Amino acid sequence: MKTLFQGSMVALVTPFRNGKVDWKALKGLLQFHLEARTDAIIPTGTTGESATLSHEEHRRVMSFVVEFVDRRVPVICGTGSNNTAEALGLIRHAKQIKADGVLVVTPYYNRPTQEGLYRHYSTLASKVEIPMILYNVPGRTGVSIAPQTVARLSKIETIVAIKEASGSLDQVDQILELCDLTVLSGEDSLTMPMMAIGAKGVISVTANVVPSLVREMVHAMLNGDLEQGRDLHRKHYPLSKILFVETNPIPVKTALGMMGLIHPELRLPLCEMGAENREKLRKVLADLGVLRNKKRPPAR
């Protein structure tokens, strides 16, 4: 099995302040994850609000993260688009700045056929030699990569993994039966069950908030400790549900704001979290103990 990337990987938010990327807060988030020993950092994905980043912002965030992390952990840049040529340009930038890999979401809205999906990914892989993770999230894109298409794509050397966020364990099982591609959870509440049937980690939203807890759960499963993995899953589960009670990344940015790590600013068409859900989120965070220290030392 191709296992270039595994473990607890964070789908990093992009902090904003007054309509612009908040570089100071971004630096603080990166330091937070390095201290928590997060296994890999994924900026400019859909949790990073890539759809509302300008092309210049997208490239600048990618470059900033790669430079700051400085090879301490892998950086896998989100480079997806529903325009193959646009995705190619982002992938070329990731290669140029020496990112460790790219995460490429299925083209959204276009709803390509399975042959179109195959050609999209195979074209990108043929143009730039960099490790690529497929990203299947049909609830957000309107299209799902069939396991048979994943198996076709797995034969391409630089396609090394798939982030599976279909919510279907059957889909995961079929992919693992058909090919040796590494499967990574893209559904936080299903990470432990997915790993129990063969997934090798998670690209996580909840890791923005509790990176050490997610890492501990994932590594328990990688080490074959099902009992510990199950116990940590139960501790993690309420957060994995409340962070998706409204559209991601509204709740996770709200949580990070409550923790004092970012200003919880979103870009339209996303807006602030509803008051009732905010209070539910606050209770989950309080139960996890992450609201005790709102102030952190400035990032180095």
pLDDT at 1: 60
* Pairing label, strands 76-78, 40-42: unpaired
What band does 222 get if pLDDT is binned at 50, 70 and 90?
very high
User: Can the peptide bond before residue 264 be classed as cis, meaning omega within 30 degrees of 0?
Assistant: no
Q: Is residue 20 part of a domain?
A: yes
pLDDT higher than 60, residue 296: no
Give percent of the chain above pLDDT 70.
96
Q: Is residue 293 part of a domain?
A: no
Structural domain span for residue 149: 7-288
First to last CA, the chain: 38
CATH number of residue 248's parent domain: 3.20.20.70
Q: 81: closest CA among 56, 106, 99, 47? A: 106
Q: Is residue 232 part of a domain?
A: yes
Phi, psi of 3 (to 5 degrees): -130, 50
For residue 97, give every residue at least 6 positions away whose Cβ sits within 8 Å of its Cβ, in sequence order, or none: 62, 63, 66, 67
What are the catalytic residues?
135, 163
How many other CB atoms sit within 10 Å of the CB of residue 83?
Answer: 12
Q: How many domains in the chain? A: 1
pLDDT at 218: 98
pLDDT at 297: 38
pLDDT higher than 60, residue 279: yes
pLDDT at 3: 73
pLDDT higher than 50, residue 295: no
Q: Is residue 172 part of a domain?
A: yes
pLDDT at 292: 63
pLDDT at 294: 46
* Dist CA 215 CA 221 (whole Å): 10
pLDDT at 293: 53
Phi, psi of 104 (to 5 degrees): -125, 110
* Pairing label, strands 101-105, 132-136: parallel
Q: Is residue 300 part of a domain?
A: no
Segment among 39-48, 116-125, 227-236, 286-295 with least mean pLDDT: 286-295
pLDDT at 299: 37
* Dist CA 24 CA 21 (whole Å): 9
**Residues 66, 243: contact at Cβ < 8 Å?**
no
Q: Is residue 295 part of a domain?
A: no
Give 47-102 pLDDT, tens digit per residue.
Answer: 999 999 999 999 999 999 999 999 999 999 999 999 999 999 999 999 999 999 99
* Secondary structure class of 98 (helix, strand, coil): coil
* Secondary structure class of 182 (helix, strand, coil): strand
Place of tokens 């059957």: 170
Count Cα atoms within 13 angstroms, Cβ side, for 214. 33
Q: Is residue 296 part of a domain?
A: no
Region 246-260 average pLDDT: 97
Q: Is residue 265 part of a domain?
A: yes
Count Cα atoms within 13 angstroms, Cβ side, for 204. 34
pLDDT at 4: 82
* Dist CA 272 CA 254 (whole Å): 8
